[in-house]
Amino acid sequence: MSVTNDQLAELLSGIAKAQQAIIDAVERAEGGWKNNHLIPILNVAANMRQPEPRLLDLPARILLRYQGRAAVDNASIVADLERLFSQPVGGAPVDASAATAPAAPRFAARVAAAPAAPAPAATTATALAAVAPRPVPAAPTAPTPMAAAAPVARPAAPAASGGSELDFSGKS
């Protein structure tokens, strides 16, 4: 059995329509839930920061289209599906077995570029010297008192000008 892109677009649209019915029921029971809770999380699930959706983002984007007032267009869903199915995923061949194959670890390049392990120690004495604890410096016997710190220099008060006799410098 094979499914065409038109049939798959209708299926995805129908699933989104069923999800929209559930969303409408929750919104009717608790007003404001859709705008306050659903839409922000659905935007994250749809990965709206990327202009071109991935196949993974497409169902959430279809559901987002159902949240708006504009009618959902199956032709745009078909166009997205054709674009997504025609391009290779990460340079891999486009077939079903490639989609289920485990991905290569992200750190594989760093592991391959890691330096080789050092040669084993020649003697037991050098191995023990390498792991011997280092001496810990002794802690000071008494903390330094704050009074011993250097006094802070204060700027000189500006000269009085204009006959003002008020002095706010804190002197008596």
HEC assignment per residue over 53-91 = CCCCCHHHHHHHHHHCCCCCCHHHHHHHHHHHHHCCCCC
Of 122 and 55, the one with more pLDDT: 55
Q: Using one digit for the tens of pLDDT, what is the confidence trace for 24-45?
A: 999 999 989 899 999 999 999 9
> What's the distance, CA 2 to chain centroid?
38
Confidence of residue 170 (pLDDT cuts 50, 70, 90): confident
First and final CA of the chain: distance in angstroms?
100
Q: Is pLDDT at 77 greater than 80 in this prediction?
A: yes
The domain limits of the chain are 5-86
- pTM, rounded to two decimals: 0.49
| Mean pLDDT computed over 105-119 | 52
